Amino acid sequence: MFKDLIYNKNIDEIHTSDAYFGKILLAGKNLLIPYINLGISNHDLNRGNILKHINFCYTVFIDIDYLKIDGNLTKDNLLDKYDSKNSIYLGGDDLLRNQNIYDIEVQAKNAFLQLRYDSKITENYWLPIENHNFKINMDEKLVKDFINNKNLPKNLIDII
């Protein structure tokens, strides 16, 4: 049912520098991060070099081998097999403003990007909060529910 919304190739081609993330869920060896305005290029969702942005999506890591959060090593099952070229680096702006997380480095046996049925991809930025020069261009209730992991797809509930 969700297979058409899951993308597990070129997960390293996501860009989080202008993205916003919600409540990070770490359950055992699995990690889920809801993202707004995630950038994507050179990927099945955007084969071009010009960055496009996804309004709502999830990054999912199953069976984590290596996890470093803000420079603090949380999990290392790789030991002497660690190679930074195999890592996926994540960041963004914490919309909850209480997680105190800025940088994540992760390696997992399975990693994928999952869209929602109502996800949209455009060249424009998705702005869930107002900033100095730009106004919000998203529904505030949808954003609040999304960043708090309300209405997670069933396959993600099963993972977490």
pLDDT at residue 4 is higher than 80: no
Burial code (b: 16+ CB inside 10 Å, e: under 16) for 60-96 equals: bbeebbbbbbeeeeebeeeeeeeeeeebbebbbbbbe
- The terminus-to-terminus CA distance of the chain in angstroms comes to 18
Q: Measured between alpha carbons, how far is 75 from 123 in angstroms, rounded to an integer? A: 36
- Which has the minimum average pLDDT: 42-51, 79-88, 100-109, 144-153? 42-51
How confident is the model at residue 5, as a pLDDT?
A: 87
Element (H, E) at 151: none
- In contact, 60 and 159? CB cutoff 8 Å: yes
Cα 28 versus chain centre, distance: 18
Mean pLDDT (the chain) is 92
Arithmetic mean of pLDDT, 75-93: 93
How confident is the model at residue 2, as a pLDDT?
A: 56
User: How many residues would you count in the chain?
Assistant: 160
pLDDT at residue 122 is higher than 50: yes
pTM for the whole thing?
0.94
Burial code (b: 16+ CB inside 10 Å, e: under 16) for 36-57 equals: bbbbbbebebbeeeeebbbbbb
Provide the residue ranges of all domains of the chain, joining segments of one domain with +: 3-159
For the stretch 124-139, pLDDT in tens is 999 999 888 889 999 9
